[in-house]
Every structure is written in structure tokens, then in C-alpha cells.
Amino acid sequence: MRLATWNVNSLKARLERVEAWLSAASPDVLCLQETKMADDAFPALALGALGYEGVHHGQGRWNGVAILSRIGITDVVHGFADGGPPDDEARLLTARCGTAVVVTAYAPNGRAVGHEQFHYKLAWFERLAAHLDAVADPSEEVVVCGDLNIAPEDRDVWDVEAIHGATHITDEERARFQRLLDWGLVDAFRRCYPDDDRLFTWWDYRAGNFHKHKGMRIDHVLVSEPLAERLSWSLVDRNARKGTGPSDHAPLLIEVEPEAVPA
DNA sequence: ATGGTAGAGCATCTA
């Protein structure tokens, strides 16, 4: 199974690039974040023409997440299944694709440490942990992916001193990321590149940061052990961040070998 | 120089 996650920063503005990328990269599952559209604007026909079924959880101007799959989509859950009230913001979508439970997430940015939105971010990760308990078990095939808006380590940031005191790198946020790993998930990209620093998935549009390689690794694919033990490779497609009209995020892919079938 | 760009939608808000 080939699975990818991509914060597209508006699916409407990025549809042609998404279509071209699907054809070139040929993922079985593509999780999207920041679609910035309402459910009735989701381009199901255009994506269906490429062989992908899609489910979308949106609200209009902001946020919005989707799962595209050519290996089936069932058991769709919009938002949190933790028993709490509905989230005001469309940031979470869960579905079964083939044999895997796939959770796609667009975590809150946090804006500034101590800001109301920062507390919302921390609480949002608490709910995500409870959501995982409700929809999946780490002994099965589970993928939690998306723009988590956390750089797990200092080496996942271009210059940690330059953003000292900012969001994405605080101990509180990193503890929430670690909690996902403790639940039974493996950071697939880091497992493939244990010794490489400054490999990023996002670069600010401003000040030519992409070309200066000033970015962060804030998009992640976390997989349960049954998938991690069959993980073949992972990569960030930086070419998709180039050219005219890119998202500020690059797609992140993983490839998992098929489960061995006894002869 | 406390900046810069992009998207939604038409004044700002969010990132």
C-alpha cells in the first residue's frame, strides 16, 4: 500500500496540481488537509475520473480534510468519536481503506504560546488520543497522518533558535506528539531516515524560505507496528513544492509491502 | 525596515 498526506492549502486552488500528482505518484490513499471548502464543493467527479473515491469533512473558508482512496473507503467518521461535543473546526476524518484504519488530521496551528488557540491545540491532541482509543487498536493496521503542526525534535526545524519561544516546538506540543507514539505508533519518515537532520515538509511562502531551505517537518505519517514492520520506504516530494502556484507543504509518502501470504 | 506571501473573499483573518 502506498499512502500519502498533503496539506494542499485550498483544494480548489490546487486541484490541477493534485490531479497531476495523483497520476504521477500513484498512491492508493491520499489524505488532504486545508481543503478550505464546503462538502458540496468537493470535486468528487474529477477525482473519481482518476479512480479515487473520496470523503470530505469541511466547513467552508478554513480547515477541511479529505481522504481519497482507490482501495475502498468504509466506516467513515467525521470529527472526534471520543463522546465529546462536535469540534467547531473541521480537522479530523477517519475511514477504513482496505485493511487499514486511516485517520487524517489537520491539527490547530496554535498561533502563539499561551494564546487561546494554543490551549485549544493542546486540548485537541488530548481528544485525538481519546479518539484513537475509540476507533482503533494499535494491534491492527492504523495510520494517523496529516499536518500535525508539531516539529518533534530540534533537528526538524531549520533554526530552532530563530523561532525560540514560538509554537510547534514547545515541550507541551512535543509531549502530545510523543503520546501518539506511546499509543503504539511509529513515525514512519523518521524510521526511514534515523540519522538525517533538516528534512522538512513545510516552508513559509514568505522571504524565499523554500529556496533557503528554511522549513519544518510538521507533516507526519504515524503507523502501527503491523504496518511499521512492513514499511518499505518514505519520502517527501519536494518537487511538488516547486514551480508556479504550489502549496506551502510538500506531499509525504510511505510504501508498505503487502502482508506475506503463506504458500 | 518588526517586514515577507498566499488563499478566501472583498475587510480582514489565518497560516
Would strands A65-69 and A29-33 be described as parallel, antiparallel, or unpaired?
antiparallel
Residue A209: which nucleotide is closest by CA–C1'? B4
- The per-residue pLDDT for range A52-63, each reduced to its tens digit, is 999 999 999 999
How far does the CA of A245 sit from the C1' of B5, in Å? 11
Nucleotide nearest to A110 (CA to C1'): B15
Q: What is the CATH number of domain A2-256?
A: 3.60.10.10
Nearest nucleotide (CA of A60 to C1'): B8
Q: Is A106 a catalytic residue?
A: yes
Per-residue pLDDT band for A75 (boundaries 50, 70, 90) equals: very high
Q: Using the CA of A207, which nucleotide's C1' is the nearest one?
A: B4
What's the pLDDT tens digit per position in A101-125?
999 999 999 999 999 999 999 999 9
Output the distance from A259 CA to B5 C1' rounded to whole Å. Answer: 45
Whole-number Å distance, CA A99 to C1' B8? 37
What are the structural domain ranges in chain A?
2-256
pLDDT at A261 over 90: no
Phi, psi of A142 (to 5 degrees): -130, 135
The answer to which of A106-110, A126-130, A259-263 has the lowest mean pLDDT is A259-263
Q: Is A205 a catalytic residue?
A: no
Active-site position among A52, A87, A106, A219: A106
The pLDDT of A141-146, averaged and rounded, is 98
Question: Is residue A123 within 8 Å of residue A173, measured between CB atoms?
Answer: no
Taking Cα atoms as reference points, which of A2, A10, A51 lies closest to residue A248? A10
Active-site pick, A28, A147, A156, A248: A147
- Distance CA(A30)–CA(A110), nearest Å, equals 25
What pLDDT is stored for residue A134 in this prediction?
98
Share of chain A above pLDDT 90, in %: 98
Q: CA A133, C1' B11: Å apart?
A: 43
Mean pLDDT of A212-224: 98
Is 90 exceeded by the pLDDT of residue A260?
no
Q: CA of A261 vs C1' of B14, distance in Å? A: 48
pLDDT band at A263 (very low <50, low <70, confident <90, very high): confident
Q: Which among A43, A63, A64 has a CA at the least distance from the CA of A54?
A: A43
Strand-by-strand arrangement of the A92-97 sheet: A74-78, A92-97, A100-106, A142-147, A219-224, A185-187
Could you say which nucleotides of strand B lie within 7 A of any protein CB atom? Answer: 4-9, 14-15
Mean pLDDT, range A65-88, rounded to an integer: 98
Q: Tell me which residues have their CB below 7 A from strand B.
A: A 9-10, 12-13, 36, 60-62, 108-109, 111, 117, 205-207, 245
b/e burial code for range A5-29 (CB count within 10 A of at least 16 → b): bbbbbebeebeebbbebbeebebbb
